[in-house]
Structure 1
Amino acid sequence: MQLFIGGACAGKRHAVRQRFDAPRWHSAYVGSRLETWPAFGEARCLVLEGWECWIGQRLAAEPDDDRLRRAMTRELDALRAWEAEQGSEAVLILLEMGRGIVPLGLEKRRLRDLNGWLAQDAAARCERVWYVWNGLVKSLTL
């Protein structure tokens, strides 16, 4: 798995398109639900974007942040298992949110906290992590 993380409109999609040949996109921004990604089956490269939307959709139904975090990490682990089974690659695009600014509203704070935890959990599981800002791409992997 590889992770591309950065701010909004920072060039993450472009960076992915430059590095992967004919990736298939699974995007919350066009209404795709996270749990439907296995339907892609034998994709050589599967890109998943819109994680903050998928988290946001689950906030009202799950008041326990730890349980919601575990549910999201189960998706990450399922993606790793899918990679191993298919010989494919999963590419995650995550939005860096807030840059340290803490919103006043509880739900917005929860969303940023959970997105930050997801980024940490994803980075721990990914072979390579890329930070994208202003179209510049930097490998963060040691």
Structure 2
Amino acid sequence: MHFVTGGAFNGKKAWVMNTYQLNKRQGWISAYDDVSLPGNFNRFSEDILVLEGIEKWIKDIVIQYGLEQSRGKWAEQMSKWLQWEKNNLEHTLILIGTDITKGIVPVEKENRIWRDVTGWIYQDISSRAERVEIIWYGINHQIK
């Protein structure tokens, strides 16, 4: 699994598309298109799957399950994805998530919880990912 993060509008999508020589139609699933978080990858024929906008799906999980269960629900989902990747050496999973954990702390309690859970889940993703990349202004910095 490859985790790509960075600020909003900092070139994460373009960097992934260029690095993996993809177009947005090839195994690209975006939360920004109001698509539900896929639970099962067996329906996809592509070897490379990209999940873009994971911070939005995390927010959906926080709304549905609350602070206490969100991290565990995400971990369950991630385990399924990692199994898909492990089942075939050609499979690669790329997660793209905007870093919402910096800057001004939100006033609304719900947004503070979302921000906190997102930070915790990004830590979980980073610990399980083979590679972690931060993209700022279109420039990558591999931290793992």
TM-score, normalised to structure 1, is 0.90
1:39 and 1:26 map into 2 onto residues whose CA distance is 14
Is the contact made by 2:101 and 2:116 (CA closer than 8 Å) also made in structure 1? no
| 1:34 match: secondary structure | coil
Q: Which of the numbers 83, 86, 89 marks the counterpart of 2:85?
A: 83
**Matches for 1:1-142 after TM superposition, within 5 Å:** 1-22=1-22, 23-36=26-39, 38=41, 40-63=43-66, 65-87=67-89, 88-141=91-144
CA deviation map 1:26-69 (0-9, x unaligned): 11111211135525433110000121211222333222x23111
TM-score, normalised to structure 2, is 0.89
RMSD (Å) for aligned C-alpha atoms: 1.6
Is the contact made by 1:42 and 1:86 (CA closer than 8 Å) also made in structure 2? no
1:76 and 1:31 map into 2 onto residues whose CA distance is 20
Moved more, 131-140 or 35-44: 35-44
Question: Structure 1: 5+ residue runs without aligned partners?
Answer: none
Deviation at 1:100?
A: 4.4
Is the contact made by 2:5 and 2:135 (CA closer than 8 Å) also made in structure 1? yes
Higher helix share: 1
Is the contact made by 2:5 and 2:96 (CA closer than 8 Å) also made in structure 1? yes
User: How many residue pairs align between the two structures?
Assistant: 140
Deviation at 1:126?
A: 0.6
Letter in 1 for 2:115: R
2:64 and 2:128 map into 1 onto residues whose CA distance is 26
Moved more, 130-139 or 34-43: 34-43
2:34 and 2:40 map into 1 onto residues whose CA distance is 12
1:21 and 1:86 map into 2 onto residues whose CA distance is 20
| 1:43 match: secondary structure | coil
2:80 and 2:10 map into 1 onto residues whose CA distance is 28
2:93 and 2:141 map into 1 onto residues whose CA distance is 19
Q: For the structure 1 residues 42 and 84, does the alpha-carbon distance in structure 2 shift closer, same or farther, using more than 3 Å as the test?
A: farther
Q: For the structure 1 residues 62 and 140, does the alpha-carbon distance in structure 2 shift closer, same or farther, using more than 3 Å as the test?
A: same
